[in-house]
Amino acid sequence: MMIVTARAFANRWATMADSSSTPSATRTFSVSVAKSSEPTTVRLGKRKVALFVGYDGTSYRGLQQQPSQQHIEFDDGRQFTVEDVLEEAVYRAGGILDANRGSLGKINWARSSRTDKRVHSLSTVISMKLECNPGLFETDPDGGTIAEGINKHLPLEVRVFAVQRVVKSFDARRECIRRHYDYYVPLTFLERMIGSLGGGEGEGEGEGAMDVDEVLTRLERAWKSYAGHHAFHNFTKRRLYRPSFQQKRRGVSSDVDGGEETETDEETGAAANAATVSTPTGAKEPTGTSGTKEPTETSAPPPAASSRVKGTINFEWKGERDDSDPIVRSHYRFIEECGCSEPMTLVDHGGVPCVKLTVSGASFMLHQIRHMVGAALLVALGKMPQELLHAAMAPPVRINLPLAPPGTLVLRSADFGKFRRSYDGKPSATERSSGSALRLLDRGVERRDAFERDVLFRGLNAQLQHDDWLGWSESLAMVRFDTAEADEIIRLASEWMERRDEMKRVRAALREGGSNEESVETIAERL
């Protein structure tokens, strides 16, 4: 808590924000400049708030600020992150003190999820301690005045929709219980693929002929097959989610799985997008602790690996646990819902027809959604059987899957749990201002919808025409795999899943106490 005079505060920001054209007197969310010559005392202090942020990530290096890019100058031509410009805007608006600039930990800065290079968001929540006049929330519960003050220092492709009060213990990452993503696929890409595969206009109705409607039907079926609890180890970089790797990251960042498209320093979305398929990780690492006990015995030896040719999907069957490449609990994710829309356009004039794939879950891994899109499109285009997609979610299977372009992935919304109440159980000032759980209030929703319509949809429409899709269609057309190997992998994975399901039934019977010892032993012997 500190006390400053209005005149001193105004002069301070006039010198500090010399690059801004906004007069310091307009920074009304922190202090009001007195009209009289007498100095007016205003009590300021840190208050825990949640910033609802949306952005078109096309020109940014992801959301999260990189340690090597602190205190960058925004006119030096270097690429920066969304958090770089957001922190600078909050600072120039008076929400961060000089002593705390560049030290996000001092103000308890936390993000609900992270996005990779060129990925967009409509619902990123940043929790932080903001320097402000707490009385503003009594008359302005969604913090529209504060949001406006910050937006004056932001580019048009980054907006703060609302600044709402939260309890002191609120942490955006830990309190976020669900995330919803959209991915847009241009119909021009599907038509180009159909033509390259021999199913375009003028083709006969014989074997191999396809049309867009058939492809969309297959796409919806493949996409919805992801729903449920599965091992998505083949849809990410497996090593990032092993205990040994997370221990190395401890003290640097602990939210590896907070949201989709988490980017590491050594990897960007552009490099990953250029490749059609990624080679399975073969790095030797110490043994991790398995999250579930799964059947390991097989009735057949693993099939021989294919040669590493560009565009080739390679398979590997781990009949027994491999301590150098273990599948652990953190490789599993629960997908609550998957959906596929009818063809649509995002803008009225010149809109590119597309379909929207939606997915909801508690958390996602690095590149998981983009790998899910890539594999589902292979199935939809007839380049890969549906059964192989199911096999890819069996822990003993290793397979490299295509990675879809990043430019049309959007964090749609996020859900949060209820605020913690005081010991007396009475509603706090936070609940009276923001509700029992954090959600974007009505005026913030209006600002978000306007940003989506006027800024984000236009940017997404441009991304639907990006050269990425042309390059990726050429790469997907070259995808090949050994049919005999694929059939063997499908058979082994199917048998493994049957044994796993039967083991689950045995354990359930034991927990319920409804089975006698003889029946349990009989089933166990069969396994």
What is the Cα Rg of the chain in Å? 26
CA-CA distance, 482 to 413, in Å (whole number)? 41
**Of 359, 362, 289, 281, whose CA–CA distance to 325 is shortest?**
281
Is the distance from CB of 361 to CB of 335 less than 8 angstroms? yes
Contacts of 514 (CB under 8 A, 6+ apart): none
CB atoms within 10 A of CB 332: 18
Q: Name the DSSP letter for residue 277.
A: B
Is the distance from CB of 121 to CB of 54 less than 8 angstroms? yes
Is the distance from CB of 407 to CB of 468 less than 8 angstroms? yes
- Name the one residue in this structure whose structure tokens are 């990624």: 278
SS3 state at 61: coil
Which pairing describes strands 120-132 and 409-416: parallel, antiparallel, or unpaired?
parallel
C-alpha dihedral, 241 to 247 to 251 to 256, nearest 10°: 0
Helix (H) or strand (E) holding 214: helix 212-224
CA-CA distance, 191 to 171, in Å (whole number)? 45
Contacts of 274 (CB under 8 A, 6+ apart): 471
Contacts 24+ apart (CB under 8 A), 281-287: 281/237, 281/238, 281/239, 281/325, 282/324, 282/325, 283/239, 283/324, 284/324, 285/239, 285/242, 285/244, 285/245, 285/324, 285/325, 286/244, 286/323, 287/323, 287/326
Is the distance from CB of 58 to CB of 117 less than 8 angstroms? no
SS3 state at 377: helix
- Name the one residue in this structure whose structure tokens are 């320097």: 131
Strand residue runs (E) in 133-259: 158-165, 176-186, 228-231
Strand partners, 413: 180
Is the distance from CB of 34 to CB of 45 less than 8 angstroms? no
CA-CA distance, 448 to 165, in Å (whole number)? 18
| 116: annotated active-site residue | yes
Crossing angle of helices 467-477/187-196, nearest 10°?
30
Catalytic residue among 56, 84, 116, 325: 116
Residues forming the active site = 116
